[in-house]
Amino acid sequence: MRFRHPDGSTVHLAYCTNVHPAETLDGVLAQLRDHCEPVRRRLGRDRLGIGLWLAKDAARALVTEPAALRGLRTELDRRGLEVVTLNGFPYEGFGAQEVKYRVYSPDWADPARLEHTTALARLLAGLLPDDITEGSISTLPLYWRTAADEQRATAARAALRTLGERLDALAELTGRSIRIGLEPEPGCTIETTADAIAPLSAVAHPRIGICVDTCHLATSFEDPGTALDALTRAGVPLVKSQLSAALHAEHPHLPEVREALAAFAEPRFLHQTRTVLAPDPGQAAGTPLAAGLYGTDDLRQALDDGALPDTAPWRAHFHVPLHAPPAAPLTSTLPVLEAALTRLVGGPAPLTRHLEVETYTWAALPPELRPRDRSRLADGIAAELSLARDLLTDLGLKELP
């Protein structure tokens, strides 16, 4: 979906296909037929933007077979779909029964991550619509925090510098500029937007910046205005933003709240949980992550007695549908998304032109909230995009055909 910003530029809105995980090219083509085109039709659009997730094997098939890439481009056109952004965070196995920590491998100290991201950049340059010259790819924020050491940091910086050189060469060759955004995520060495400033400033490449995921921003209790202003002052390129909402529990000490949270503690994905305490909390439980910020790696851990202080609100990294916050006593962090979007595109010029709805957890919702079939899932995704569309038009953007 395209929107005209009041400054005359085009802002793109897509939804991420990692909600329909597929490891092979055939699986990707089936996604377009079974999921993406039905969502487009529900929205009454001639054209719908999607943020493709291409697993390792699918990407390799497209890189090694030029005819396959042309075929994918033809299939996108035939189904009224367009791609300006890719989700390059998961490498493979995102549809496994248990993903958890596996999603952070390979990391940016592993050469496989550089090669995969380079392949994605080349593929995206070939998938961009004819009238678009800039694409974006989100990627993991270096590595999981327990893997951090100086040797890995040096290797990651070197990999990103090499990536920058390859992106420059790709732009010169194709006339298409592909940018990469590190995506801060709870538990990673770059948990917050503030954590991203130093490593990105060390790399200092105009095509390597940040992807702001509003669920992650909210989970770590970052204020959107403060975060985005700091990135702007530091000159960090804001490559894209993923529009998502986290799970919020205002009173986690109450038994009924803990019972409601337990329904979201499922075995497939990590649901990092955070709380903010007053300065000098004493012997607070949980892992101290920043000034006043404490957390656990997963929601189930947080619910264990005494694992995380429950005197202040909790937020969990669980991407809840934008249009359907959970029932009381829980809610979502949609207000954080709205505040971030106002700063991202509500000013005189957009801070980023690539927006992506990324609710990949539909099948991980409590059973009574999960879509019962593909049709219901398409209904839900279309409803999320409709909400995002309304937020954008309320900010003065005009929806384009």
Domains and CATH numbers, the chain: 2-250+318-399 (3.20.20.150)
CB crowding 178-204: b at 16 or more within 10 Å, else e:
bbbbbbbbbbbbbbbbbbbbebbeebe
Q: Is the pLDDT of residue 102 over 60?
A: yes
Taking every pair of Cα atoms in the chain, the longest distance, rounded to a whole number of angstroms, is 62
Q: What does the pLDDT look like over 294-308, one tens digit per residue? A: 999 999 999 998 899
Determine phi and psi for 269, rounding to 5 degrees: -110, 155
**How many Cα neighbours within 13 Å face the side chain of 350?**
24
Give CA–CA dist 236/298, Å, rounded: 30
Q: What does the pLDDT look like over 204-228, one tens digit per residue? A: 999 999 999 999 999 999 999 999 9
DSSP three-state, residue 38: helix
Q: 272 and 249 in contact (C-beta within 8 Å)?
A: no
Q: Is the pLDDT of residue 50 over 70?
A: yes
| Two structure tokens written together for 340 | 């971030």
Give CA–CA dist 370/38, Å, rounded: 18
Q: What does the pLDDT look like over 177-205, one tens digit per residue? A: 999 999 999 999 999 999 999 999 999 99
Closest listed residue to residue 143, CA positions, set 199, 95, 98, 93: 199
Beta strand extents in 89-244 (DSSP E only): 134-139, 177-182, 208-213, 238-243
Question: pLDDT averaged over the chain?
Answer: 96
Q: Is the pLDDT of residue 351 over 60?
A: yes
Q: Which residues contact 276 (CB under 8 A, 6 or more apart)?
A: 221, 292, 293, 294, 312, 313
Q: Is the pLDDT of residue 379 over 70?
A: yes
Give CA–CA dist 49/43, Å, rounded: 12
Q: 320 and 361 in contact (C-beta within 8 Å)?
A: yes
Q: Supply the pLDDT for residue 280.
A: 59
Give the pTM.
0.96
